[in-house]
Amino acid sequence: MKRGYYIVGIGVLLVALLLWFSRQTRQATGVSSETTAATSVSATVTQSPQPAPLGQTNKFAIPQKLMEELNKFIAITQPYGLERPITKADVTYFTNAFKTDMTLETKTHLVTFFDYRVTHFLATYDMSNPVTDAEGQAEARRKWYQATARWSEQEALAETHRILASLGIHGEWTNQKAEPFTLTVKNPQGERVRVTPFYTVTLESENGMVRAEFRMGQSGPGRLTEWYCRIRPSGQE
Amino acid sequence: MKTRIQNKILAVTVTSFLWLPFLSQAQEERPKERPQAGNYYSAHSYESKRPPMPPLPFNPFPELPVYAIGERTFIYDDRAVDYEALRKEAAERAAAEAANQPAVAEGGEMMSPLESGSDLRLKIETFDAGVKVVSFNTITGLVYHLQQKNDLNDPQWTTIRTLVATSTNADYTIEDGAMGFYRVLQEDETIQFPDWFDAIYQLMEFTVYTPVTAGTIDLELYADGNLIFTDSGPIPPNGTVRLYDQNYDPAQWPNTGYYGVGEWELRVTVTPAAAFRGAAAQAQRRVKKEGRQRNPPFTYYGMTVEQGGIFSTATTAQDEVDEFMFFYLSANYQACDIVDWNFNLVDPIDRSIMPGSATLYDTNQWAPLRQYVSRSTATNTLSAYIDYLHYFGHGSSTSIGSGNAATMITLSQLNASAFLKTNKLTYVALDGCRTCDGTDFINALVGFRKTMTRFEFVNKGLDPHFGCGWNKSKAVGWVLQGTVNDRHFWYWSDFYYDLTRRNANGFMFRQYKQAADFAKNPQGGSPFHNLQTKPDAAGFVMVGCDECRFDERPGIVQ
């Protein structure tokens, strides 16, 4: 066990890049009061993929079964920004360092697997908390004003249950909630607009939790930007 | 401007005074007198072996025998009283009165438990020596005043806490160890504060709601006592007014910046156009929010420490626990720089630092740790403080450590720090018994009493903070019959293993709650063991932003 800890300890000792954010003191000069009301604006949703290092990826080591499971997941969930299956050529990083816990990354998505099941799926730059630095996060948020399509908590919850059923996952949920992320942002013209760029669904059971995040575009229903579920499908417990 | 604030006074007074011994002695005494003032206990309550009713400041049954059992302490013989019939009668009377006068707010007289038709209940639990937790049920958005006095005959009550309810329950920890009487006052519903958070970080924001359908609403905003904004106008159709800093840009969160204000106060006045539920007069509320985290550090520092001397030297338990703690320290190094007792950087690769730089033996280690955590100096200008803390050792709902105050960090020590009130720690894990049983201790460290979604943090401009520990349902048994309880320590190993996972570009991508989920249900996926589930996870409590990542905080790459 000690050897395992040592390996893990060293393995995870990556140097975090520290950026100093210049300390600033703001004055509450822009104070105003208003009644709560929602506003919206139309625009186009785009992605901002950033390259990941290719040198670490051994694409030949990626099990075919893993790719099949991933694309089966994509077909079921129809994630945001993914209009076609992922091929090995798309993979920029892959590791199976620990047991059957594998991680695969493309320019725009990050996926972890356990026993060839997708346990965590992230739209790297399109999710509400992009896996990038502070500048990349701010850049991603500047596009939130484009989320003009309408959806509802009920639809988000129903979509989550549809995905779960399609994946063969059933649970006795002790808690279920769907939440819209509604906020006021500025559009490129500097106008303040009220939008709901994301819906999140959280399900809890004794066997684990499910988290699904859906992103709103200019039209259509919410599309998946994050999926987290370690619960095994029925029959595989 | 004359302002009338209508209070709904809940007069359930409770004491932690143990009165049963007095009662048992008094049962044989003869009546002495008919006293006029003092504490009156029920004989019926004692005989029925139910939880004792609190004493009353008056005799509710002057016609019945009364016994003196001490200085201004009495017992009234109500054993023949039919309480069930009285309750029924009181309920019928209240219903009849309500039917005749539906819109009148309750008065301010003190009510006996018999007369109380309210759902508001105040409860006191004693935990450790001298520590009481006062809790009461609440209605979200309403204002409450918790009051105290030490002598029931004293006409003055002292408000010890004013709060806006954010859930259906509130609690408050009192460490004075003295006998006390408590009551809670609930303001009426004329002015409410939905979606409340009691501090302001990067966004000044107050939301006010009134059910009054016609009238005017006036707002006055004070920053450190200075009036900086006023506004008034008709009450909007939805009854909701939001006062906020329109310069706040959520796209920049959590790096939007701070105000440099220690205390914000909002004064709200609602003037109904006509009689509203029986009250035509104005209603006014004053609510305050603390300004927090005004000095984000350039570099985030942390410590991962264990309490020394709790294992027998005859066993290898200490070495094994050191091994676990070293892994936790390595994980914390992913998010911050690690320092020793002299606030010098330590090399996390150097395995000898456990126990040298991370084991708490005596005041030589506890004193600097307390200072780095509470940031308490005479001038509160200390620049050497930590933002990340993992602690393993003895704990309670109001402290970590054991022995005397010199070898502990107590709630009162934390509350005494002015700097800690505004600058909370980013991450605190308290691996000790009942460290999150009650919310005051963890709240003093990280500024949160419950979890909130990351979206709420963005929308409210709050700094990411996270705290965790154990409640009383968890027995933190780290040694079982001389052998280290690996399952307990594996919980933390799995938690940190998952929490510190990074993508190819070196960015963390797991949330705290996802790491906790993995630690609870690893399903054989842990690199340390083959367990499917861990019952040891029961009792794990999280507060703050459980959807945030380990290195997510102002001014830092995520």
Domains of chain B: 204-291 (2.60.40), 301-545 (3.40.50)
B52 CB neighbour count, 10 Å cutoff: 16
The separation between CA A91 and the C-alpha centre of its own chain, rounded to angstroms, equals 17
Q: Which residues of A touch B326 (CB under 8 A)?
A: 5, 9
User: In this model, does residue A92 exceed pLDDT 70?
Assistant: yes
Q: Using CA atoms, how far apart are residues A215 and A209, in angstroms rounded to an integer? A: 20
**Omega before B254 cis (within 30°)?**
yes
Alpha-helix residue ranges (DSSP H) falling in B423-525: 440-446, 454-460, 486-499, 512-520
Q: Which residue has the higher pLDDT, A178 or B25?
A: A178
pLDDT of residue B294: 76
Pairing of strands A101-106, A91-98: antiparallel
Q: Using CA atoms, how far apart are residues B281 and B273, in angstroms rounded to an integer? A: 9
Whether residue B231 contacts residue A33, with contact meaning beta carbons closer than 8 Å, is answered with yes
Q: Which of B56, B55, B75, B79 is nearest to B66 (CA)?
A: B75
CB distance A31–B299 less than 8 Å? Answer: no
Among the partner-chain residues B219, B502, B558, the one whose CB lies closest to the CB of A134 is B558
Q: Where are the domains of chain A?
A: 52-229
Among the partner-chain residues B245, B330, B521, the one whose CB lies closest to the CB of A230 is B521
pLDDT of residue B2: 28
Q: Using CA atoms, how far apart are residues A205 and A228, in angstroms rounded to an integer? A: 13
Token code pair at residue B177? 């160890």
Mutate to test the interface with A, among B329, B510, B523 (most CBs of A within 10 A): B523
Phi, psi of B407 (to 5 degrees): -115, 35
The model's pTM is 0.77
pLDDT of residue B129: 63
Largest pairwise CA distance in chain B: 84
B53 CB neighbour count, 10 Å cutoff: 18
Q: Which of B258, B251, B300, B332 is nearest to B553 (CA)?
A: B300
Q: Please, what is the Cα angle at B133 between B127 and B135, to 5 degrees?
A: 140
Q: Which residues of B touch A49 (CB under 8 A)?
A: none
Q: pLDDT for B292-318, tens place per residue?
A: 987 777 789 999 999 988 776 656 888
User: In this model, does residue A60 exceed pLDDT 70?
Assistant: no
Q: pLDDT for A2-43, tens place per residue?
A: 444 544 444 444 333 332 333 334 444 445 454 433 322 223
Pairing of strands B263-272, B215-223: antiparallel
Mean pLDDT of A63-89: 94
pLDDT of residue B85: 79
All residues at 6 or more sequence positions from A84 whose CB lies less than 8 Å from its CB, including other chains: none
Distance (Å) from the C-alpha of residue A131 to the closest C-alpha of chain B? 6
Q: Supply the DSSP symbol for A17.
A: P
What DSSP line would sit under B43-73, residue for residue? HHHHHTTSSPPPPBSS-S-TTS-EEEEETTE
Q: Helix (H, G, I), strand (E, B), or coil: what is residue B30? A: coil
pLDDT of residue B104: 24
pLDDT of residue A100: 72
Q: Which residues of B touch A35 (CB under 8 A)?
A: 236-238, 240-242
Among the partner-chain residues A5, A19, A36, the one whose CB lies closest to the CB of B327 is A5
pLDDT of residue B349: 80
- Please tell me if residue B517 touches chain A, with a CB cutoff of 8 Å: yes
CB distance A30–B518 less than 8 Å? Answer: no
Among the partner-chain residues B250, B504, B525, the one whose CB lies closest to the CB of A114 is B525
Among the partner-chain residues B245, B324, B555, the one whose CB lies closest to the CB of A21 is B555
Residues 24-53 of A with CB under 8 A from B: 24-36, 52-53
Q: Which residue has the higher pLDDT, A44 or B94?
A: B94
User: In this model, does residue A44 exceed pLDDT 50?
Assistant: no
Q: Report the residue of chain B nearest A50, measured CA to CA.
A: B505
pLDDT of residue A99: 64
- Identity of the residue numbered B1: M
- Please tell me if residue A8 touches chain B, with a CB cutoff of 8 Å: yes
The band of A163, judged by pLDDT with boundaries at 50, 70 and 90, is very high
CB distance A29–B229 less than 8 Å? Answer: no
Q: What is the mean pLDDT of each run of 10 residues along chain B (558 residues)?
A: 27 27 34 53 66 65 72 75 75 54 27 44 76 86 92 89 90 78 90 94 96 94 96 95 91 88 95 71 93 83 90 74 92 94 86 80 93 72 84 93 92 88 94 91 95 95 96 79 87 96 94 97 91 89 97 72
- Which residue in this structure is represented by tokens 């609870």? B520
Residues 122-181 of A with CB under 8 A from B: 122, 124, 128-129, 131-134, 137-138, 141-142, 144, 179, 181
The separation between CA B229 and the C-alpha centre of its own chain, rounded to angstroms, equals 31
Residues 168-227 of B with CB under 8 A from A: 204, 207, 219, 221, 223
pLDDT of residue B52: 55
CB distance A184–B250 less than 8 Å? Answer: yes
CB distance A5–B528 less than 8 Å? Answer: yes
Q: Which residues of B touch A24 (CB under 8 A)?
A: 257-258
- Which residue in this structure is represented by tokens 């040198």? A55
Does an H or E element contain A226, and which? strand A223-229
Among the partner-chain residues A28, A36, A183, the one whose CB lies closest to the CB of B204 is A28
Q: Which of B201, B265, B295 is nearest to B545 (CA)?
A: B201
